């Protein structure tokens, strides 16, 4: 077992959680599930797999995870963030164990990982916007920045390295859930957009690639004309970056994420600019 505590945030994740926990068997010394009011079998499943369960009302991902850090009494040398719809592979587990041993006593305090994205059961080999995040860090030196969307782990000191192996991200339950999630994400992103515009954004120094991506988002994408930029993003990702090569699943993913979701974000930005309507209460994603 590796000297690591894995924290997983859940709400009604009975579909995803067993595979997630199975991927941690023989790897993590401790698994803590922080649940926010599940009405399905999520908490029972977690306990059957040997995970500890904490319960706390959900405000946003960053604050929920940081609450877990503060209340899980973590005594392992390393801590890891993992979502219920993500899985580790045996090759990745072996690589992470090696990295933790290699950097136990130096200034490398975090490990950044990338994902293979699965949508409607198909791995999207040409989805170039693969999730990339700092997921593993030495206990006590990592914390998630206080944002509503696109939140990353920040290190209080030291540097990070990249893992070669990828984790698996199963970003789909069914279309109703996916549409609800995109609408929920859009409400969160609008808050971060206006926080950036108004100069009240809370962030910190990210690793180079993630910082570049955020700079392009606010320095280029959001400077393009509203409602045009989402079409441009779809054409760029689906046509010029090869998303069409992933078949119907590739079309649905790129259209729903780049065209539908990005239009929804612009619509909520426009609505707030035009009406001054208060931000919607976010809370946990409702099924």
Residue 143: its pLDDT value, please?
94
Contacts of residue 114, Cβ cutoff 8 Å, sequence gap at least 6 = 130, 131, 132, 162, 163, 166, 167
pLDDT value of residue 33: 98
Q: Which helix (H) or strand (E) holds 177?
A: helix 175-197
Tell me which residue of 114, 262, 85, 248 sits closest to 177, measured CA to CA. Answer: 85
Q: Under a CB-based contact definition with an 8 Å cutoff, are residues 151 and 83 in contact?
A: no
Separation of alpha carbons 60 and 234, rounded Å: 28
DSSP string, 129-142: ---EEEEEEETTSE
Task: Check whether residue 180 and residue 255 sit in a common domain.
Answer: yes
Shared-domain flag, residues 25 and 85: yes
- Do 236 and 118 sit in the same domain of this protein? no
Specify the DSSP class assigned to residue 277: P
The pTM of the full predicted model, rounded to 2 decimals, is 0.90
Look at residue 128 in the predicted model and tell me its pLDDT. Answer: 60
Asked whether the beta carbons of 73 and 54 are under 8 A apart, the reply is no
- Whether residue 235 lies inside any domain: the answer is yes
Q: Which residues contact 127 (CB under 8 A, 6 or more apart)?
A: 117, 119, 237, 243, 246, 250, 253, 254
pLDDT for 230 equals 95
Report the pLDDT value the prediction gives residue 138, as an integer from 0 to 100. 98
> Domain holding 56: CATH number?
3.90.550.10
Separation of CA 258 from chain center = 17
**pLDDT confidence of residue 215:** 77
Q: Are residues 133 and 254 in the same domain?
A: no
Q: In this predicted structure, what is the pLDDT of residue 208?
A: 58
The predicted pLDDT at position 281 comes to 64
Domain span holding position 255: 175-275
Indicate if 64 and 113 belong to the same structural domain.
Answer: yes
Of 132, 150, 170, the residue that ends a domain is: 170
Residue 201: predicted pLDDT:
65
> Per the structure, how many domains does the chain have?
2
For residue 286, being part of any structural domain is answered with: no
Q: Note whether 203 and 154 are same-domain residues.
A: no
Residue at a domain's end among 113, 137, 170: 170
Q: Residue 215: CA atoms inside 13 Å, Cβ hemisphere, count? A: 9
pLDDT tens, the chain, 287 aa long? 899 999 999 999 999 999 999 999 999 999 999 999 999 999 999 999 999 999 999 988 999 999 999 999 999 999 999 999 999 999 999 999 999 999 999 999 999 999 999 999 999 988 665 678 999 999 999 999 888 788 889 999 999 999 999 999 998 889 999 999 999 999 989 988 888 888 776 666 566 566 777 778 888 899 999 999 999 999 999 999 999 999 999 999 999 999 999 999 999 999 999 998 777 666 777 66
């Amino acid at each position: 077992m590796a000297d690591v505590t894995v924290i997983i945030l859940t709400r009604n994740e009975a579909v995803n959680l067993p595979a997630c926990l199975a991927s941690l068997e023989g790897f993590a010394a401790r698994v803590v599930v922080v649940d926010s009011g599940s009405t399905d079998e999520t908490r029972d499943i977690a306990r059957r797999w040997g995970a500890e369960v904490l319960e706390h009302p959900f405000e946003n991902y960053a604050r929920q995870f940081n609450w877990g850090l503060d209340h899980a009494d973590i005594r392992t040398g390393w801590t890891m963030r993992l979502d219920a719809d993500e899985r580790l592979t045996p090759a990745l587990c072996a690589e992470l164990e090696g990295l933790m041993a290699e950097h136990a006593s130096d200034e490398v305090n975090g490990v950044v990982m990338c994902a293979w994205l699965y949508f409607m059961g198909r791995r999207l080999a040409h989805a170039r916007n693969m999730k990339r995040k700092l997921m593993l860090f030495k206990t006590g030196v990592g914390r998630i920045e206080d944002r509503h969307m696109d939140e990353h782990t920040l290190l209080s000191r030291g540097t990070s390295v990249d893992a070669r192996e990828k984790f698996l991200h199963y970003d789909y339950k069914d279309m109703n859930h996916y549409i609800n999630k995109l609408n929920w994400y859009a409400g969160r992103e609008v808050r971060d957009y206006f926080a950036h515009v108004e100069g009240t954004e809370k962030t910190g120094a990210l690793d180079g690639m993630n910082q570049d991506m955020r700079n392009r988002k606010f320095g280029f994408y959001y400077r393009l004309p509203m409602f045009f930029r989402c079409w441009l993003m779809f054409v760029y990702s689906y046509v010029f970056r090869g998303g069409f090569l992933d078949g119907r699943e590739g079309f649905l993913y790129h259209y729903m994420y780049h065209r539908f979701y990005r239009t929804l974000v612009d619509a909520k930005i426009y609505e707030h600019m035009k009406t001054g309507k208060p931000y919607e209460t976010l809370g946990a994603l409702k099924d």
